[in-house]
Chain A
Amino acid sequence: MEKLYEILKSLHPDVDFTAEEDLIGKGILDSFDIVTLITEINSAYDVSIPAEEILPENFRSAAAIHALITRLDEA
């Protein structure tokens, strides 16, 4: 999880990702961020987030993103 926080912080240093629960709804993560995030996550976690997983519910919070990574890792 720490690794994920680091990646997210590198995108938006001013956001408290441990508390934020609506990253998409509030416009904190836009399409540019999502694509960068996926590239970083794929590289850091050795997973491959496919296009069909780009859904608001998978990116709405750090916990949701982490759950997605775990799910893909265990697949």
Chain B
Amino acid sequence: MQFNSIPFLLLLTAALVLYYCLPLRRRWYVLLGASYLYYLAAGAEYLVFILYTTAVSYLTGLWLGRRAMRDATALAAAGELPREERRARQAKDRRARFRILVGGLVLGFGMLAVLKYTGFVLSGVQAFVPTLRIPELLLPLGISFYTFQSMGYLIDVYRGKAQPERNPFRFALFVSYFPQILQGPISRFGDLEPQLFGEHRFQGERFRAGLARVVWGYFKKMVVADTAMIAVRTLVEQELTGAYVVLLILLYSAVIYGDFTGGIDITIGVSELFGVRLKENFDRPFASRSVKEYWRRWHITMGTWFTDYVFYPLSVCGPMQRLSKWSRAHLGAALGKRLPVYIATIVTWFLTGLWHGAGWNFIVWGLLNCLCIQVSQELQPLWRRWQAAAPRLCASRIWGCWQALRTFLLMGLIRSLDCYRNVPLTFRLWGSILTDFNWGQMLGDLTGLGLTPADWGVLAAGVLVQFAASLLGKREPLRERLSRRPVLLCACLTLGVIVILLFGSYGIGYDAGDFIYGQF
């Protein structure tokens, strides 16, 4: 059930009516019911997987919480202990809780690994054993998102940052909350729990703002992303070279921006209709001046998930600290202090790539992002010298625009790995940008890519509108500014609906395609 489908709109309307009819404290029942109905619509066979993840994380969380309480009570009952003894006891208790956590993580991530990566691993083995049969496994809707969210909860309970949820139905809602299950944001229990179970009264202003956000999301997805996707498909299928690759990079940037940020706008807007506030997942990412900054502003909740639960724990774990000491003693201070961070960064980006998809394209995509960040980090001294040599230029708007454009093109180039069927082909096509100067042919061939001149006009106008909205929202998000002017908000909302109905990609015979991140 896609966000831009009639069944979804019907489910949403029914859920909203019921939600605001029920007493405040029972409204979350509607969210749970709607979430499971939404999930059931994707296929009853998927239900078992989300129930499994829910059960594993719920029970492990309870176990961790009980064990922590028992350990604390026992330590308090032991009275004043010598420092060393207290430390030893705390370390022993922590190790026991860590084993419980690892058990939960293995069970949780294990299912994701089996369902998502078995085919990829076996296809590698098949190169050596051609007779090997690769089983076709189901890939449940949103599995990467709900698994990461549930496992994040377990780590938070282990760290004492979240209290274990005792009510299995409340916990089931945290895992399955329908607006975000398809493509995030990946919420933390501490953030989402008070929102889901808080008592939300109907607020007209908030409802209108949510509705406007939903319409804005549909505009991005249906008018911009789905239109650009038609040309992207043609460019990919025909493996067109040179200037066409540059065109693909630009168009796919429009697709992924409209598709993913639009999807998140719908998610956050739908949540606002229920009074539930979700974390923002984007902060004008295409205005980033470096790759590092880009990753602080794009898919923020995934980035912070990997930083908090993979990068930092790996960087400061015992073996890494021993490596840090050894490398500083044997390889010198400069390389020595870098080595653990390099390793942790490479592992983090390898896993980030793998999270996006089971394939070499995604792994190479992750590692190239890692390479850009590391190179940029190493060039910092050079950059500081350049800043000192040309302070006025570096502080100018033109320089800032150049940095943003450079980052946009670099990220677009790397992102095109999503599109092509394998890594060697992608590299060959990237190379053709420098060898095939077919710009004239490409410009004359624009209407041969599946889009009419009118479609190109709609696409260009849509991109410009998004760009303008981004610029206007630089100091304060546009939605906040509009929410203070209800008449203007209603006008924008109406106009948005008309534009979507007139220019959006929908209707009989049209295959909108899934939201791209829904497939991750």
8 A Cβ contacts from A36-61 to B: 36, 38-39, 42-43, 49-52, 54
CB within 8 Å for A39 and B324 given contacts A31-B341, A32-B338: yes
Of B90, B308, B337, B377, the contact of A35 (CB 8 Å cutoff)? B337
| Residue B340 lies at the interface, judged by CB distance under 8 Å to chain A | yes
The answer for the CA separation of A35 and B316 in the assembled complex, in Å, is 6
| Residue A20 lies at the interface, judged by CB distance under 8 Å to chain B | no
Find out whether the CB atom of A49 lies under 8 angstroms from the CB atom of B316.
Answer: yes
CB within 8 Å for A51 and B321 given contacts A30-B377, A33-B337: no
Q: How far is the CB of A40 from chain B (nearest CB, A)?
A: 9
Chain B residue contacts of A32, Cβ below 8 A: 337-338, 341, 377
Find out whether the CB atom of B308 lies under 8 angstroms from the CB atom of A36.
Answer: no
For the complex with contacts A11-B337, A39-B316, 11 further pairs of A-B residues with Cβ separation under 8 Å are: A32-B337, A32-B338, A32-B341, A36-B337, A42-B321, A43-B325, A49-B316, A51-B308, A51-B312, A52-B161, A54-B312
Find out whether the CB atom of A51 lies under 8 angstroms from the CB atom of B341.
Answer: no
Find out whether the CB atom of A35 lies under 8 angstroms from the CB atom of B161.
Answer: no
Find out whether the CB atom of B341 lies under 8 angstroms from the CB atom of A35.
Answer: yes
Q: Which residues of B contact A (CB under 8 A)?
A: 90, 159, 161, 308, 312-313, 315-316, 320-321, 324-325, 328, 337-338, 340-341, 344, 377
Chain B residue contacts of A49, Cβ below 8 A: 316
Q: How far is the CB of B348 from chain A (nearest CB, A)?
A: 11
Find out whether the CB atom of A52 lies under 8 angstroms from the CB atom of B337.
Answer: no
Chain B residue contacts of A43, Cβ below 8 A: 321, 325
Q: How far is the CB of B347 from chain A (nearest CB, A)?
A: 14
State the majority secondary structure of interface residues on A: helix
The 11 listed contacts between A and B (C-beta, < 8 Å) are A11-B337, A32-B377, A35-B320, A39-B316, A39-B325, A42-B321, A43-B325, A51-B315, A51-B316, A52-B308, A75-B90
State the majority secondary structure of interface residues on B: helix
8 A Cβ contacts from A57-75 to B: 75
Chain A residue contacts of B324, Cβ below 8 A: 35-36, 39
Chain B residue contacts of A31, Cβ below 8 A: 315, 341
The answer for the CA separation of A34 and B341 in the assembled complex, in Å, is 10
Chain B residue contacts of A34, Cβ below 8 A: 315
Find out whether the CB atom of A39 lies under 8 angstroms from the CB atom of B321.
Answer: yes
Chain B residue contacts of A50, Cβ below 8 A: 159, 316
Smallest Cβ-Cβ distance to A48: which chain B residue: B91
The answer for the CA separation of A30 and B375 in the assembled complex, in Å, is 15
CB within 8 Å for A52 and B159 given contacts A35-B337, A36-B337, A39-B316: yes
Q: Which residues of A contact B (CB under 8 A)?
A: 11, 30-36, 38-39, 42-43, 49-52, 54, 75
The answer for the CA separation of A54 and B308 in the assembled complex, in Å, is 9
Chain A residue contacts of B315, Cβ below 8 A: 31, 34-35, 51
Smallest Cβ-Cβ distance to A54: which chain B residue: B312
The answer for the CA separation of A35 and B341 in the assembled complex, in Å, is 7
Q: How far is the CB of A39 from chain B (nearest CB, A)?
A: 4
The answer for the CA separation of A40 and B405 in the assembled complex, in Å, is 40
The answer for the CA separation of A49 and B159 in the assembled complex, in Å, is 12
The winner among B159, B338, B341, B377 for most chain A CB atoms within 10 A is B341
Chain B residue contacts of A52, Cβ below 8 A: 159, 161, 308, 312
3 smallest A-B Cβ distances: which pairs?
A51-B312, A51-B313, A36-B337
The winner among B308, B316, B321, B344 for most chain A CB atoms within 10 A is B316
Chain A residue contacts of B338, Cβ below 8 A: 32
The answer for the CA separation of A16 and B161 in the assembled complex, in Å, is 34
Chain B residue contacts of A11, Cβ below 8 A: 337
The answer for the CA separation of A30 and B374 in the assembled complex, in Å, is 12
Smallest Cβ-Cβ distance to A73: which chain B residue: B83
Smallest Cβ-Cβ distance to B340: which chain A residue: A35
Chain A residue contacts of B337, Cβ below 8 A: 11, 32-33, 35-36
The answer for the CA separation of A33 and B337 in the assembled complex, in Å, is 7
The answer for the CA separation of A49 and B315 in the assembled complex, in Å, is 12
Chain B residue contacts of A51, Cβ below 8 A: 308, 312-313, 315-316
Chain A residue contacts of B316, Cβ below 8 A: 35, 38-39, 49-51, 54
Chain A residue contacts of B340, Cβ below 8 A: 35
Smallest Cβ-Cβ distance to B342: which chain A residue: A32
The answer for the CA separation of A42 and B325 in the assembled complex, in Å, is 12
The winner among A32, A33, A43, A49 for most chain B CB atoms within 10 A is A32
The answer for the CA separation of A9 and B324 in the assembled complex, in Å, is 18
Q: How far is the CB of B105 from chain A (nearest CB, A)?
A: 15
Q: How far is the CB of A65 from chain B (nearest CB, A)?
A: 14
Q: How far is the CB of B386 from chain A (nearest CB, A)?
A: 15
Q: How far is the CB of B7 from chain A (nearest CB, A)?
A: 42
The answer for the CA separation of A11 and B320 in the assembled complex, in Å, is 18
Chain B residue contacts of A38, Cβ below 8 A: 316, 321
Q: How far is the CB of A45 from chain B (nearest CB, A)?
A: 12
The answer for the CA separation of A31 and B339 in the assembled complex, in Å, is 12
The answer for the CA separation of A32 and B315 in the assembled complex, in Å, is 9
